[in-house]
Amino acid sequence: MTTVVDLRSDTVTRPTPGMREAIANAEVGDDVMGDDPTVQRLESLTAEVLGKEAALFMPSGSMTNQIAVRIHCKPGDEFLCEAGCHIYNYEQGAFAQLSGVVARTIEGNNGVLQPEQLHGMIRAENEHLVRTRLVCLENTHNRGGGRVQPYEQVAGICEWAHDGGLKTHLDGARLFNAVAATGIAADQWSKHFDTVSVCFSKGLGAPVGSALAGPADMIREARRHRKCFGGAMRQVGIIAAGALYAMQHHRERLTEDHANAQILADAVRATDGIRLLTPEVDTNIVFIEVDPALGTAAEFVTGLQQEGVLALAITPTRVRAVTHLDVDESAMRRAAEVISLVAERLASGVKPEVDGVVAY
């Protein structure tokens, strides 16, 4: 088989030589005792970039999100979120399992919510009802196809939430993609939120880690919960060094991933039988809708795989392809050719055999 172009996710990147060197040379200490200088550097840079008082390093974005829910809500409280968001769909309902909190979902337009959709959703103080405490937004929106939330709408939703006494949390796993796509600085996005979570292991290309940023008192509270959730780590500067390197060197280059996504988008537009889910691709995620006349998304993905291109079938008709640090322009052009080739092959009736279980 030819070289693999892996577009399954922006989490598949391997550390670059420069990042490995930073990891090898990391100064470390016991971070549970507050002794790891590399973690402290990462946390203070993250807080500074996000315009928050403090930030806390954690092993995953699921943990930063779930600890945010935990510090903003008590058992029996609810939060409002978009129906396709990661916190609700891809974290096992951990807010219910670990924190006794319920979610109330609102259907957006490919992940984008309008402020008016939330109006009237704060429950009255009444002993029958859960208490509405928090709004969570996601930017960029993963299941929305990497869409950037329109800035004015984000500001409007957060203003409405704060006026109603709610807290706000941003799942900014790909916030730096939104920054690269819009030119609106990270601290401008995050100033509307009480807490913000960012991932270093997505487009930024670090092997591990996320951070939660916010006011110092909330982050102190988050630190307690991180211990409780089992996320306090010792000489963790070893992995924080990769995240720090990513923050210093890989934010600006996200525009390259976005340009590569446009190469893919153009190929999809030019090919019969497949189309883009949204007219425009905002960032590094491309959703391809496969016409059932061609075959299933799983057949499409299997066809791609036979040609050395990996993508994910995320519904029976939808394929997700994500660009990242390990896919350069020439690999991207190859992947774009393969996508057209596979569509033509399926259209001519040659169906690959789908191996294994397809999970959505």
Ligand X SMILES: *Cc1c(COP(=O)(O)O)cnc(C)c1O
Positions touching ligand X (CB under 6 A) are: 60-62, 65, 86, 138, 142, 171, 173, 199, 201-202, 210
- DSSP code, position 282: -
Q: How far is 200 from 207, CA to CA, in rounded Å?
A: 8
Nearest-approach distance from CB 218 to ligand X, in angstroms: 19
One-letter identity of residue 4? V
C-alpha span between 267 and 272 (Å, rounded): 10
Cβ-based neighbours of 70, under 8 Å, separated by 6 or more: 95, 98, 99, 101, 225
Nearer to ligand X (CB atom), residue 172 or residue 295: 172
**Shortest CB 147 distance to ligand X, Å:** 11
Q: Which is nearer to ligand X, 144 or 352 (CB)?
A: 144
In the complex, residue closest to ligand X by CB: 61
Q: How far is the CB of 342 from ligand X (least distance, A)?
A: 26
Considering beta carbons, is residue 38 or 62 the nearer one to ligand X? 62
Phi, psi of 237 (to 5 degrees): -55, -25
Among residues 16 and 60, whose Cβ is nearest to ligand X?
Answer: 60
When the beta carbons of 43 and 307 are compared against ligand X, the nearer one is 43
Give Cβ neighbours of residue 83 (< 8 Å, ≥ 6 apart): 105, 106, 107, 108
Strand partners, 275: 289
Shortest distance in whole angstroms from residue 232 CB to ligand X: 17
Q: What Cα–Cα distance (Å) separates residue 257 from each residue in 55, 81, 168, 264, 331?
A: 27, 28, 29, 11, 12
Measured from the CB atom, is 202 or 250 closer to ligand X? 202
Counted residue by residue, the chain has a size of: 360
We find the least distance from the C-beta atom of residue 184 to ligand X, in angstroms, to be 18
In the complex, least distance from residue 139 CB atom to ligand X, rounded to whole angstroms: 9
